[in-house]
Amino acid sequence: MSERETILRIAAKGDGVTPSGRHVKGAVPGDTVNAEGIIERGPHHVDPPCPHFEQCGGCQLQQADEQALGDFVTSRVVNAAQGQALSPGTVLPVHLSPPASRRRATLHAMRTAKRAVVGFREGGSHRIVDLAECPVLLPELEGLIEPLRALIAAHGGKGAIDVQLAASDQGLDVALSHFPLEGLAATEGVLEFAQTHGLARLSIDQGYGAETMWEPEPVTVTLSGVPTGLPVGGFLQATRDAEARMIADAKDWLGEARPVADLFAGLGTFAFALAEGRKVLAAEADRGAYLACTSAAQQSGRGVHALHRDLFRNPLQPEELDRFDAVVLDPPRAGAKAQIEAIAASKVERVVYVSCNPSSWARDAARLTAAGFRLGQVRPIGQFRWSTHVELTSVFTR
């Protein structure tokens, strides 16, 4: 190894990589590093915007500028495809969510002898980083950190507490887990907290499931103009801008296809957007999401039919899929192996696959191409800014 090496790329876990294969934490392409591991900054190395960076496990790449960050997200998708011998027709420009755009997050908290700590965990540790600020969160979510710290210091019990935050149509939705309410003072304290900070909803799980303590009016999230009930802990795309980008890609790629099956549909993020001028089947396993989608479809009059079905255990079969011109799917990180097998055996000619895991997507994509599909356009998406979590949209045709 020469005395100094130049960083060529960023590996999957965020380390910079040299030509000799050496991994260097905190380095980005264009940096150089000597034998002792001392980094000399290159043109793409910037000052991290957060004082908690390097300690907090929420972000790994705040030292990378916009170009290096975009190149990393793109390379993760391209490398996953190449690992399965896949060649996308076109790799579209990467979409990166901007700072201060995250509308949902799960923080961790713990009451200490004199106060409380609230934040993300350190990388590879259960230790909580006590946040003073967080540049990825929406300002209204970030602004609730200090009040939460005071609430937990006053009424938190022993052990770790999970804090789920989400921005809804009515305001902030807060769910506290492992938070036993000891006595009347604690109950009054959490209700006063909810009222003082104008929460849309406050839910408490004392060990027996979530109980809604405060909800002045039903909490909703608007999906393509359709107000949809938001269950406690319900899934939302992390940022509104990435959600809009994914929907736009799906619409472009579906063209005039109708009817369409939306699989792993959740609350109906894609279904309601696609139901303008076509009928959409929205299949989802989570009962709360299914019921919310059903109710919103009935009230809006959109052509969405919700189906409660576990697509891992009971995927739509080829003869069921044959009734649709196209399929949209957005599965969890594990991918959709069983459902992909059924799609491959069906007569469906167009598949829009949205993924939060390039590795499982590439595995599923290889099965589709083996069945005669061609991988067309792919768009890398960095919805979780400054993290190594990479997503994508893609289209397959045959």
Given the residues 50, 56, 293, 356, the one annotated as active site: 356
Q: Please state, in angstroms and as integers, the Cα–Cα distance from residue 132 to each residue in 56, 59, 199, 260, following that order.
A: 12, 15, 21, 46
Question: Helix, strand, or coil here: 177?
Answer: strand
3-class DSSP assignment, residue 125: coil
Cα torsion 248, 249, 250, 253: sign: positive
Q: With contact defined as beta carbons under 8 Å apart, do 335 and 363 qualify?
A: yes
Give, as one character, the DSSP assignment of residue 286.
-
| Long-range contacts (CB closer than 8 Å, 24 or more residues apart) made by 284-292 | 284/308, 284/309, 285/309, 285/310, 285/311, 285/312, 286/231, 286/235, 288/231, 288/232, 288/234, 289/231, 289/234, 289/235, 289/265, 291/229, 291/231, 292/228, 292/229, 292/230, 292/231, 292/234, 292/267, 292/268
Known catalytic membership, residue 356: yes
Peptide bond into 49 cis (omega under 30): no
Helices 184-196 and 145-155: angle between axes, nearest 10 degrees: 170
**What Cα–Cα distance (Å) separates residue 128 from each residue in 70, 107, 112?**
29, 9, 12
Closest CA to 52 of 117, 125, 126, 135: 135
Token look-up 């909803």 returns 201
* Nearest partner of 111 among 170, 163, 51, judged by Cα: 163
Closest CA to 280 of 253, 249, 305, 246: 305
CA distances from 201 to 15, 218, 252 (A): 40, 9, 36
Q: Which residues are catalytically annotated?
A: 356
